[in-house]
Amino acid sequence: MSMTARARRVAGGLRHEVEVNGRHTIVTDEPAGLGGSDTGPAPHELLPAALASCVSTMVALYARRHDWDVGDLSVDVAYNPDASPRTVDLTLHLPDTLSEQQVARLRRVADTCPVRRALESAFTFDERIAAEPPLSLSS
């Protein structure tokens, strides 16, 4: 299954509307200090957001299937793109009412997050540039 995204620049600035799988739109932008208007996260900020939400979702799905109460589970991700190698610090916050066995299982479930697995594997890129005429504003 292939997933798609298309970013379109908005009004000549650094803000972009990103269509995801033809069903959802998210906005990215850069901080004012870089010439953006800071109306959304910068593209590189989506990486830790994707990882945090993926781990949280995987754990919530598993817990729901097993009728385990994980309360207001949360996941903190700190990503350091300047470290070599790059580092991720991930904290999974679970209620203290779970047994040691439940916590151990949910830790293994967190490790199955597709975003984490993708980050741990190697990538290959097939890139091309498509030179296209500018869009006409008249019909």
Q: What is the pLDDT of residues 76-97, one digit of tens each?
A: 999 999 999 999 999 999 999 9
pLDDT confidence bin for 27, thresholds 50/70/90: very high
24-28 and 74-80 strand pairing: unpaired
pLDDT at 37 over 90: yes
Full-model pTM: 0.88
**What is each CA distance from 92 to 19, 62, 108, 111, 137, in whole angstroms?**
29, 14, 12, 11, 49
pLDDT at 138 over 90: no
pLDDT in tens, 92-114: 999 999 999 999 999 999 999 99
